[in-house]
Amino acid sequence: MVRLRWPHPNVVSVTSDSTIPVKIDDFYPVVPAGGVGSRLWPLSRPDRPKFLIDLLDTGSTLIQDTVARLAPLGSELMVVTGERHAPAVAEQLPALGARDIVTEPSPRDSMAAIALAAALIEHRHGDQIMGSFAADHVIPDAEAFRAVVATAVAAARTGKVVTIGIEPTEPSSAFGYIEAGAELDGTPGAFAVEAFTEKPDEDTAREMLATGRYSWNAGMFVVSTSVLLGHLARLQPTLESGVRALAAAWDGDGRADALAEIWPTLTKIAIDHAIAEPVAAEGGVAMVPGSFAWHDVGDFDSLAALLTPAEDGAVRIGRDAAVSLVDAPGAVIVGGSKPVAVVGIADAVVVDTDEALLVLGRAASQRVKDVNL
């Protein structure tokens, strides 16, 4: 059996304009924008989630970057977000119309959000290939990303649920993994998915990487709306009927009543458990490998790793004010308008916002979610 090996020979290499995909007529990008990013507190907060932040200090927010990366592929684009954040999303994305921002009255996990998007797209446009991509991931090479998405769209035309598998660069315990099988006949660059696995421990991840068959699961799904809603009708029928009823009422006068009646009844479940895992077990999921750099900037450690330290050794994010370091290698200084000194602590992360101050040992970055303020 032919199996995937990293680096994969089919991985797209962008060397000339001819390889850059242009608009795909029936492709419809969807960006679910949810989650707080609680390990990036106090930069992120419930009222200022990670996707609304200029996390890399580049002048644009993560959702702006995500939409800019996807927009060239489709004619339209849909963002699904919570009521609380819809005004900020609209403000940050002025090119989107009111129809393009789908507002959830309350969070009901990723399957409800993506299924509602699928039902709305199909109701408005008929069967389309939709692609769902999180609003808060960092992918510096947009062209390489779009080339992989184009391959995934081609695979989705065969009726598969297609996921994009990220080439692992380390045995991370922070991500779930996708186990690939043989390359699919007739769809070059797409592989059967044997299984999805939960986040492993680092030793297990190392063993998995040694096989050459595992990629990171970045939660990217490309699938036709009819295939997605068809699986949903079998596996989560109340969800399927619920989102179809919502979609039918959405663009008319009945939206508010339908939401009030139906939304609270929708099953709270992640797309991984509702669709990806059971359909993979049936042989219905394919994976397209992506070798582009991909970052789920989950905490201050991974954020700092993406940035270049200044001459004094400190990484600065969103800060112009003075920094003085005394025996403080590896400092990371985020925000704040006052001078900051760090003395006698290695790998200190100092995050100063208008609302709160965080002083963190970089190795403990995951524990920021335990702060109780």
Q: Which residues bind to a copy of itself, rule: CB under 8 A?
A: 41-42, 322, 324, 326-327, 336, 338-345, 348, 350, 352, 354-361, 363-365, 367-368, 370-373
Return the number of the residue (106 or 324) whose C-beta is nearest a copy of itself: 324
Is the Cβ of residue 310 or residue 363 nearer to a copy of itself in the bound state? 363
3-state secondary structure the chain: CCCCCCCCCCCCCCCCHHHCCCCCCCEEEEEEECCCCHHHCCCCECCECHHHCCCCCCCCCHHHHHHHHHHHHCCCCEEEEECCCHHHHHHHCCCCCHHHEEEECCCCHHHHHHHHHHHHHHHHHCCCEEEECCCCCECCCHHHHHHHHHHHHHHHCCCCEEEEEECCCCCCCCCCEEEEEEECCCCCCCEEEEEEECCCCHHHHHHHHHHCCEEEEEEEEEEEHHHHHHHHHHHCHHHHHHHHHHHHHHCCCCHHHHHHHHHHHCCCCCHHHHHHHHHHHCCCEEEEEECCCCECCCCHHHHHHCCCCCCCCCEEECCCCCEEEECCCCCEEECCCCCEEEECCCCEEEEECCCCEEEEEHHHHHHHHHCCC
Smallest gap from Cβ 350 to a copy of itself, in A, equals 5
| d(C-alpha 138, C-alpha 141), whole Å | 9
Question: Which structure tokens are listed for 330?
Answer: 């590896």
Q: Which is nearer to a copy of itself, 297 or 340 (CB)?
A: 340
Q: How many CB atoms lie within 10 A of CB 365?
A: 21
**Min dist. Cβ of residue 69 to a copy of itself (A):** 32
Taking the least distance from each CB to a copy of itself, the nearer of 14 and 345 is 345
Nearer to a copy of itself, 111 or 348 (CB): 348
**Category of 196 on φ-ψ map: left (φ > 0), alpha (ψ -120 to 50) or beta:** beta
Nearer to a copy of itself, 45 or 69 (CB): 45
Q: Residues 39-53, buried b or exposed e (16+ Cβ, 10 A)?
A: bbbbbbbeebbbbbb
Q: Which is nearer to a copy of itself, 42 or 289 (CB)?
A: 42
**Least distance (Å) between residue 43 CB and a copy of itself:** 12
Cβ 344 to a copy of itself shortest distance, Å: 2
- If the CB atoms of residues 158 and 353 are measured against a copy of itself, the closer one turns out to be 353
Q: How far is the CB of 330 from a copy of itself (least distance, A)?
A: 13
Q: How far is the CB of 136 from a copy of itself (least distance, A)?
A: 21
Give the separation between CA 64 and CA 137, rounded to whole angstroms. Answer: 11
Minimum distance from CB of 36 to a copy of itself (Å)?
15
Q: How far is the CB of 175 from a copy of itself (least distance, A)?
A: 22
Least Å distance, CB 268 to a copy of itself, is 29
Q: Which is nearer to a copy of itself, 106 or 337 (CB)?
A: 337
